[in-house]
Every structure is written in C-alpha cells, then in structure tokens.
A and B are shown apart, each in its own frame.
Chain A
Amino acid sequence: GAGVSQSPSNKVTEKGKDVELRCDPISGHTALYWYRQRLGQGLEFLIYFQGNSAPDKSGLPSDRFSAERTGESVSTLTIQRTQQEDSAVYLCASSLVPRGNYGYTFGSGTRLTVV
C-alpha cells in the first residue's frame, strides 16, 4: 500500500481480555517498529523487526506483550490480560533500510482503551 496501515483505529476492551493489533507496512520496507504513546507522553519503543532476523524485544514492558512478523509482511502486537495502564496509542512504523536513517513512515495508530 501507499502508507503504513494499522487496524483497528480504535479498540475498547475490558480489563483482563486479550487484544491483537495489526500493522501492514509499506511494501518493500524491511524494518518495522512498534511504539507506545501514552497520553501526553513521548514515544516508548516496544519492538523492532528486520527481515528474517531475530526481533529486538528489549522495549516490551512485560511478558503480557508479544509481537510477530513473518518476513517483511504484516505484524501483529498482542497484549494478553490487558490492564488499565495499557491504555495508549500504539504506533507502528516501517523503514526502507534496516537502520532507518532515511526516516520512518508511521501509521495513524491504534488507540487502545482498557476499561
């Protein structure tokens, strides 16, 4: 596609339920990032995928968070047993080259609300 597509755009879930967020990067972009943006805060790195290499999971805040990506295609971020502090906008970005030094293209995000 022309841009990075994220779905759903909004998600309201009950505390304790699992949620799955989807990111469809720009075709041909080898690198994919997930960030979390809490209200009024900056971007918090979660996970980085590069091609078929092992992902950098160093930003995942707990074992309730996991993500998958097959090759250079769609990625899904899963949050198990959601908590209220998981409420945030989850942003996905992709870049053409591994280091991303030419810049990143962001999706519009998924706004997650845990009630």
Chain B
Amino acid sequence: AQSVTQPDIHITVSEGASLELRCNYSYGATPYLFWYVQSPGQGLQLLLKYFSGDTLVQGIKGFEAEFKRSQSSFNLRKPSVHWSDAAEYFCAVLTSGGSYIPTFGRGTSLIVHP
C-alpha cells in the first residue's frame, strides 16, 4: 500500500521569502502525485499534479513542484511567499494501478510573518 509523509507539521516563513514544503511517498512504481491547499474553513483546492513527463510541474498561485524518483519526493516550492498563502498544505498519492483511493499526508501548516 502507498503512504505519504509530510515531515514538517508547521513551517514559518517571512513574507517575500522562498518556500519549500516536503513530501515523500512510498510506492513501488511512479504514482500520481498531487498538492492541495486548504484555507481555514474551506475545502481542499488542487494546486498542481504530476502524472508523467516533465518532472517540474507548474501550478496555480505561483507554486511549482518537482518529482524526484531517486528520492521518492515531490516537494512544493514558491519563490516568494505572500501573506495570503498562509494555509494547510496536503500532499496526496494515487497509485497507477490497483486502488482508486488517494492517500493524503497529514498536512503542513504554513504560517507567514509580515
């Protein structure tokens, strides 16, 4: 079965600083990978997804993520964080065969200081 690890429960950055949120997965083959953002009191919004091909994926709101097969990672990055980026971020994995159920990480809470 696949699993997802988001090692950082909280991340604090200053507005304008760069950001990297970590995500590691466990699965024998290349999975489908997703990043979602959840603002307070809201559902989850898809930021970006990776299926195959170019390992650097561009998403909405200026986010990007890079798939690194050798490290089983799919880290989310943003070059300059805005105060409105403060939210909960979830990485998710869906296997390319078998289960149709995606597995979500426990989330990373991003705090942005002015």
Contacts and interface: CB of A to CB of B under 8 A. Distances in A.
B32 A101 contact: yes
B49 A42 contact: no
A50 B100 contact: yes
A78 interface: no
A100 B102 contact: yes
A43 interface: yes
Contact of A48 (B34, B45, B100): B100
A85 B51 CA distance: 37
Contacts of B32: 99, 101
Interface residues of B, number: 21
A91 B44 contact: yes
A92 to B, nearest CB: 8
A31 B100 contact: yes
Contacts of A50: 100
Q: Specify which of A35, A48, A103, A107 lies most central, judged by the most chain B CB atoms within 10 Å of its CB.
A: A103
B46 A103 contact: yes
Contact of A43 (B45, B94, B104): B104
Given A31-B100, A48-B101, A100 B94 contact: yes
A108 B94 contact: no
A106 B106 CA distance: 17
Contacts of B34: 103-104
Contacts of B100: 31, 48, 50, 56, 98-100
Interface of B: 32, 34, 36, 41-46, 49, 51, 90, 94, 100-107
6 contacts: A42-B106, A58-B101, A98-B100, A100-B102, A106-B45, A109-B42
Interface of A: 4, 6, 31, 33, 35, 41-43, 45, 48, 50, 56, 58-59, 91, 93, 98-109
